[in-house]
Structure 1
Amino acid sequence: MFMKNQIKSKNIVTTVSLLAMLTTGCNQEKTQAPAPTAIPVNITTAQQAQLIDSTEYVGTLEAIQRVNLAPEINGRIKQIAVQEGDFVNQGELIAELEPTQQEENVFAADANVQSQIAAFTQSQSELRQREGEKDSTSSQVAGLRADVSRAEANLKSALADLQRATADLELAKVNHERSTFLVNSGVLPKQDLDDKTRDLNTSKATVSAQKEAVQAARSQVQTTKESLNSALSNLKVANERIQGARANVARSKANIDQSRGNKGSIEQELIFNRIVAPVSGIVGDFKKKKVGDYLNRGETFTTITSNNQFHLNVNVPSENLNRLKIGLPVQILNEDNSAVVSGSVNYISPIVDQSNQSVNIKVTFNNNNIFKDEKYVRTRIIWQTSPGVLIPTNAVSSLGGQKFVFVAQPGESESSLMAKQIPITVGRIQGQEFQVLSGVRPGDRIITSRILDLRNNTPVTEAELTSSTK
């Protein structure tokens, strides 16, 4: 028992001694503890920058020059002059069709042209014949008019002769009455009465003859006038026939022109057996068509696409319709969110797509062998820009929903620095940086490394200084 107590007393003493030694060592360490070591950090100076208000969408590229090649005639493929994927220049031969039907149509059209030429020649001959008939009838009319004039002159002369004969008859009657009275009175011999009777009878015969002459002259005038009227009627008919013949000539000439035009059109169809590139570009696939296959008119054979210039089509939700305007900046983004192509809106659809309640916009840009037709691309529409501050995302830390940065500020000595924890308000991420809405100003020195090792007022030292202008 004594031995156990003695051993226990020794253990107590030993324990007290050890505690005393530890306490003494701790007091000495506390007294001799050195100052904290400054943490080396990277520091960047916040610069004035442009804050971008933007939205990203998926857009579709549409080649401005992309055409579907289709034959304008029916036929079998005789030759394919290029390979799928070849680059061709405008006007270069793509394929050729066998123009069997078109050649037959050309032969038929040529025969029709010759037939119309023959009809034209015949109508010209008929016109010359009608013109000859008219000339003959015109001469006949002129002669008959002269005959009418002569007949009318003869009638006038006969009437004058009849008038003279009538006057002579009246005088002969008077002389005969006087002679009869004088002879009966015995004044004149009977011979005088005989003479006066002879003269009276002669005057009567002359009047009768002149009347017959007048009647004959009148009949002649009537006959020549009837002949003249008949000739004038024939002349009218001749003129009408000439007009008809001239119309036939004009119609035949028009038929020639029409038949030649039809022939030209058919010959043009013969030219259409050659399918050529309407634009320069890359040949698409041939839709499994090969030499010997039959192509119908209008059937797509292949495509020619030029990737030199594109329309970027973006469907913007209708809630942003009031923000859309011509000239709005648009960017096509790379995988690292950098802009590959920049342009501006040059078209805004006047209607909203009912299927997805979006508005189509277009941006036209030149392609430098970067994109292919119908490719989907990430795009950014920049609604507006404003001055502000951007800081690297790796400089920002979060605590309870609050964003902070550490700003390097002067320490107790001129050469020392301290990490000051500053609460900030941030906006969107722009590239690899936060848009700072409040808390940081241009010129502040932002710590960008070893953020997890820092606390408020932690001493730091500048490992590397970088100053960038955004």
Structure 2
Amino acid sequence: MLTTLTSGCQKNDPAANAQSPPLLPVKLQQIGTGTIEESSEFVGSLEAQQKVTLQPQIQGRIESILVSSGQRVQQGTPIASLSLDQAQANVTSSIAAASSVQAALGTAQAEQQQAEAQRTKAAANVQLQRTQFNRTQQLVTEGAVARQESDIARNNLQTAIADLQTAEKQVAAARAAVRQAQANIRQAQASTAAARVSLNFKQVVAPITGVVGEFPVKVGDYVNIGQTITTLTQNDSLDLNLSIPSNRLRQLRTNLPVQLIDPTTQQLIGVFTQFTASTPQFQIDFDRTRLEALNIDFQQAVTTLGTAIGSQYVNDFTLGQRSYRVYVQADANYRRSPDDIRRLYVRSANNQMVPLSEVAKITPTTGPSVISHYNGFRAIDLQGREASGYSSGRASLLGFFPS
């Protein structure tokens, strides 16, 4: 905008006319609005989205390696084969043990039948001796026989009863032996099944589609459970990790335009991010004054909440030559909403159960769903691919932030 100042003067004053500035042409332009974008450069690293380590689930000697390092394989492709002589021996031993306990079961069942027959015989003898005793008692009363005959009949009855009790114990022992033999059979069958499962692990196969890494072992090496054989890397698409100052996090948004450039050729490949800082969340604040008044340990309250809503490791157990981890947590139906948190209870030092709603406040809020870190700094994952013919190590990132 141009402003000219003029002063009033008399029309015919020559001096005033001489002092007037000359008029200049001015071009006017309409003022509009626009967006100014600011760019910043960050050095990042491209990493595979998925990488797995192949480890055998049984012990054995490497019989053959079926692929080579750098080769791309599909999911389910055999990677290596193990020689499982010990596993085959375990199967044979388990089958022999199962046959042995099966024979022991047959013997126990035969002994049970014999004991039951002996008990039946003893029970019949008790009935006979009781009848004989009653008849002798009657004859003694009538004076037909001497009292000595009554004593003999009583002794015979007591002996028969003792024999019956012994037969009952033998039957109980025989039944216990049968149950134990049946349990041994189930255990032997489980061992055989576990040994057969080990044979199914003779081949190590690819769990995902990817590129085979280096082999730290060779044919003929003996490997243990959990030992690394090789790695598989799935690099169809790559994750870009970079460090962005925390004071610029609020400038990031979903689908933020960025450019991946090669420092030599300046070739560009677009990348994108799924990061968002507005994910719905719930913030839980514990009233420490209230906790102290109710004699509740703060750590106890936090542990109760974390165990029920999250999970907590308990221990490991072994089943069928495999180890499993045990975690405790609330059932899914009891950790679906914030109201489920209010229904949790925490134990005070006075052994009183206090609801968490008495000491915790739940507030809806927003924030990032995942906070990643790179080199110790908070970072954001960006996804993209490098230019054709260039390695990921030659890539740097140029990010655009709205002013």
CA contact (8 A) 1:309 1:364 kept: no
Selected match of 1:96 from 66, 81, 97: 81
| Pair 222,82 (structure 1): closer, same or farther in 2 beyond 3 Å | same
Quick check: 1:334 aligned with 2:260? yes
Aligned equivalent of 2:377: 358
* Kept in 2: contact 1:285–1:303 (CA 8 A): yes
Counterparts of 1:118 and 1:58 in 2: how far apart (Å)? Answer: 73
Of residues 70, 76, 86, the one that matches 1:85 is 70
Find the partner of 1:348 among 360, 367, 371: 371
Q: Any idea what SS the aligned residue of 1:333 has?
A: strand
C-alpha displacement at 1:298, in angstroms?
A: 2.6
Q: Compared with structure 1, are the counterparts of its residues 312 and 44 closer, same or farther at alpha carbon in structure 2 (3 Å cutoff)?
A: farther
What is aligned with 1:127?
Answer: 112
Structure 1 residue 145 corresponds to structure 2 residue 74: no
Aligned residues of 1:71 and 1:296 also touching (Cα < 8 A): yes
Instruction: Find 1:224's aligned residue among 144, 153, 170.
Output: 153
Residues 372, 330 of structure 1: CA spacing in aligned structure 2 closer, same or farther, 3 A cutoff?
Answer: farther
Amino acid at match of 1:341: F
Change (3 A) 1:234 1:330: farther
CA distance 1:138–1:90, shift in 2 (3 Å): farther
Q: Do the aligned residues in 2 keep the contact of 1:311 with 1:364 (CA within 8 Å)?
A: yes
Q: Which position in structure 2 is the counterpart of 1:299?
A: 227
- Give the match for residue 244 of structure 1: 173
Match of residue 257, structure 1, among 148, 164, 186? 186
What SS is found at the alignment partner of 1:334? strand
Partner of 2:274, secondary structure, is: strand
Q: Quick check: 1:70 aligned with 2:55?
A: yes
Task: State the distance in 2 between where 1:225 and 1:373 align.
Answer: 103
Cα 1:309–1:113 shift into 2, 3 Å: farther
Contact 1:332 1:377 in 2 (8 A): no
Q: Give the whole-Å Cα distance in 1 for the aligned partners of 2:247 and 2:131.
A: 100
AA of the residue aligned to 1:102:
A
Once the two structures are TM-superposed, the CA of residue 244 in structure 1 deviates from its matched residue by 1.5
Q: CA deviation at 1:339?
A: 4.0
**Per the alignment, do residues 62 and 142 of structure 1 end up closer, same or farther by CA in structure 2, a change over 3 Å counting?**
farther
Number of equivalent positions = 282
Residues 115-163 of structure 1: CA distance to partner in whole angstroms, max 9, x if unpaired? 222222221121111111111112112222322333344455x2xxxxx
Q: TM-score, normalised by structure 2?
A: 0.56
Q: Deviations over 1:67-95 (max 9, x none)?
A: 11122333333222223333323222111
- 8 Å CA contact 2:269–2:387 kept in 1: the answer is no
Give the letter for the 1:136 counterpart: K
Determine the C-alpha separation between the residues in 1 that align with 2:74 and 2:151. Answer: 88
- Choose from 205, 214, 228 the match for 1:276: 205
SS of residue matched to 1:307: strand
**Other-structure match for 2:280:** none
- 8 Å CA contact 2:269–2:384 kept in 1: the answer is no
Instruction: Give, in whole Å, the separation in 2 of the partners of 1:372 and 1:305.
Output: 16
Q: Percent identity?
A: 29
* In 1, Cα distance between equivalents of 2:95 and 2:60: 21
Name structure 1 gaps, 5 residues minimum. Answer: 1-42, 159-209, 386-434, 436-470
Any idea what SS the aligned residue of 2:51 has?
A: strand
- Measure, in 2, the Cα distance between the counterparts of 1:366 and 1:232: 91
Q: CA deviation at 1:264?
A: 2.2
The structure with the largest alpha-carbon Rg is 1
8 A contact 2:260–2:398 mirrored in 1: no
What RMSD, in angstroms, separates the aligned Cα atoms of the two structures?
A: 4.4
CA shift, 1:282, in A, is 2.1
Gaps of 5+ in 2: 1-28, 277-368
Structure with larger RCO (C-alpha < 8 A, sep 6+): 1
The CA distance in 2 between the partners of 1:340 and 1:116, in whole Å, is 66
Structure (1/2) with the larger helix percentage: 1
**Cα 1:49–1:338 shift into 2, 3 Å:** farther
